[in-house]
Amino acid sequence: MELWFTEEHTKNVRFSIKVEKQLVSKQGDFQRIDVFDTKEFGRILTLDGYLMVTEKDEFIYHEMITHVPMAVNPAIKKVLVIGAGDGGTIRELTRYTSIEWIDMVEIDQEVVNVCKEYLPQTACKLEDERVHIHYEDGLKFVRKPVNMYDLIIVDSTDPFGPGEGLFTKEFYGNCFKALTDQGILINQHESPYYESDANAMQRAHRNIKAVFPVSEVYQMHIPTYPSGHWMFGFASKGLSPIKDLNAEWWNQLGLETRYYNTDLHLGAFALPNYVKKLLMECE
C-alpha cells in the first residue's frame, strides 16, 4: 500500500509527495498539525493540510527571509518575528552575534512543541537566550510597541485561518509604528503565478504600499510551494534593499549559506514583466 500527501495548489492542480511514515497528526486549538517522513524531501510539516516546511528546501525560505534585511542594515539589534513556529527563521537570525534581542510571537504553542520534537533541523535555536517566545496572536501583539524594533519578519501561514489578520492594513500600520526609523519589514508575500495566490499577493502589496514609503518585492524558488515561484516583501521607512545593500559588511561575516549570496540579493529584486504588471496594478 502506498501513502501520499497531496495538496491542492488550485482546483485543477495537485502536488503530491510519497510518504514513508506518518509521525504526528493532531488537531490543535488553531489548526491541524501533521508531520511525515518522506524519501524525496525528508521530514515535512503540514498545517491544515498545507505544506509549511520540508527538510530539503527550507533553507531557501529561511535564508531569504533573514539575510536580505540583515545585509541591508548591519545595525539591526532588536527583532520581532511573527509566526515562524518551526524555528527556521530564528535559526538563521541567531547566527548574527550583532542581534541582541528577538521576540517571537507564535499563535500556536503546539506547532513549537511538535517542531522541537520532530524538526530539530529548524527548531534547534529556539532555546537561544536572546529568543523570547510569546504565545499570542501577532495581530494583537503588534498593537502595543512603538519605535522598538529594527526588523520585523512576518513568517506566517497563508491569508486565511489564523494568518488572515497578518495581511491587513491595520497590521502593517502597527508594524510601521513598531519599527525604528531605520526599520525593515519583511513579509511572506505569496506567489504571482496561480490566480488565487496572485490575488493574495496583490492584496498584501496594496496594503503595505498604503503604509510604507519603500515597498519592494523579491522572489525565490521554493520547489514545494505552489508553482515553485514565491515572493517576500521588503518594506521600510527609507532604506532601499538595493542602494543600501552592504555587501562588503555581509561578506566579511563569512556566514556559510546554501542559497543566499549578495549577487543573488540584487538579482532577486529583478522581477519578470508579468509580476511587475501585477504589482503596478496595485498603485
Active-site residue, from 137, 155, 158, 197? 155
- Residue 208, phi-psi category: left (phi > 0), alpha (psi -120 to 50), beta (remainder): alpha
In the residue annotation, 155 being an active-site residue is answered as yes
Residues 167 and 207 sit within 8 Å (Cβ to Cβ): yes
Residue 88 as a binder of ligand SAM (CB under 6 A): the answer is yes
Q: Which residue is nearest to ligand SAM (CB)?
A: 83
Q: Does 159 bind ligand SAM (CB under 6 A)?
A: no
* Residue 181: CB minimum distance to ligand SAM, A: 26
- Paired strand residues for 36: 22, 44
Q: Closer to ligand SAM at the Cβ: 159 or 245?
A: 159
Q: Which is nearer to ligand SAM, 52 or 279 (CB)?
A: 52
Determine the interface stretch with ligand SAM among 124-132, 152-160, 174-182, 238-246 (rule: CB under 6 A): 152-160
Q: Is 58 in the site for ligand SAM (CB under 6 A)?
A: yes
CA distance 67 to 86: 18
280 DSSP β-pair partners = none
The answer to whether 13 touches 193, Cβ cutoff 8 Å, is no
- Find the binder of ligand SAM among 38, 66, 94, 157 (CB under 6 A): 157
Q: Quick one: which segment of 45-53, 176-184, 233-241, 267-275 binds ligand SAM (CB under 6 A)? A: 45-53
DSSP-derived 3-state class of residue 144: coil
Q: What is the DSSP string of 7-70?
A: EEEETTEEEEEEEEEEEEEEE-SS-EEEEEEETTTEEEEEETTEEEEETTTHHHHHHHHHHHHH
Please name the amino acid found at residue 242. Answer: I
Sign of CA dihedral 252, 253, 259, 263: negative
Judged by beta carbon, residue 161 or residue 238, the one nearer ligand SAM is: 161
* Of residues 111-150, those binding ligand SAM (CB under 6 A): 111, 137-139
Residue count at the site for ligand SAM (CB under 6 A)? Answer: 26
DSSP state of 64: H
Under rule CB under 6 A, residue 105 binds ligand SAM: yes
Q: Where in the sequence numbering do the catalytic residues fall?
A: 155
Q: By the criterion CB under 6 A, which residues form the site for ligand SAM?
A: 47, 52-53, 58, 61, 82-86, 88, 105-108, 111, 137-139, 155-157, 162-163, 165-166
